Structure 1
Amino acid sequence: MTDEPLDHRAHPSSYRVARGEQGVFSVEPYKSELLPLWRFATPEQATASSAAILEGFRAYLEADDFVGADMARKYLQMGYTRSRRYARHRGGKKYDGPVPDDKKGVSGAHGRRELPLGPEDPVKAESARIFKRAWDEAAADETYQRLRAAHVEAYG
Structure 2
Amino acid sequence: MSDGPEYDVDFREHPEEYEIGRGEEGAFKVQPYKDELLPLWGIKTLEDAEEGAEAIYERFREYKAREEFVGMDMARKYLQMGWTRSLRYAKYPGGRKYDDDGTEREPQQWYDEEKYRISQVYREYLDRVESDPEYQRRREAWEDG
Query: What is the TM-score of this pair, normalised by structure 2?
Result: 0.90
Q: Helix, strand or coil for the counterpart of 1:117?
A: coil
Q: Give the distance between the partners of 1:118 and 1:150, measured in 2 at CA.
A: 40
Instruction: Give the 5 Å matches for 1:41-80.
Output: 41-80=44-83
Tell me which residue corresponds to 2:114.
123
Matched residues, number: 139
| Deviates further, 88-97 or 51-60 | 88-97
Quote the residue 1:144 is aligned against: 135
1:63-109 C-alpha deviation (Å, 9 max, x unpaired)? 000000000001000000001000011111111117xxxxxxxxxxx
The one-letter amino acid paired with 1:90 is P
Q: Give the percent of matched residue pairs that are identical in Structure 1 and Structure 2.
A: 45
Unaligned runs of 5+ in 1: 99-111
Cα distance in 2 between the residues matched to 1:55 and 1:33: 12
Report the Cα distance in structure 1 between the residues aligned to 2:7 and 2:92, rounded to whole angstroms: 36
Distance (whole Å) between structure 2 residues aligned to residue 32 and residue 135 of structure 1: 20
Q: Which runs of 5+ in 2 are unaligned?
A: 1-5
How far did residue 151 of structure 1 move? 1.8
Secondary structure of residue in 1 paired with 2:43 = coil
CA contact (8 A) 1:24 1:75 kept: yes
Q: Which residue is equivalent to 1:86?
A: 89
Q: 2:104 aligns with which of 98, 107, 114?
A: 114
Alignment-mate amino acid for residue 6 of structure 1: V
**Higher normalized contact order (CA 8 Å, seq sep 6+, divided by chain length):** 1
Alignment RMSD (CA, Å) = 1.5
Asked if the contact 1:64–1:147 (Cα under 8 Å) also holds between the matched residues in 2, the reply is no
Q: Which residue pairs with 1:31 in the alignment?
A: 34
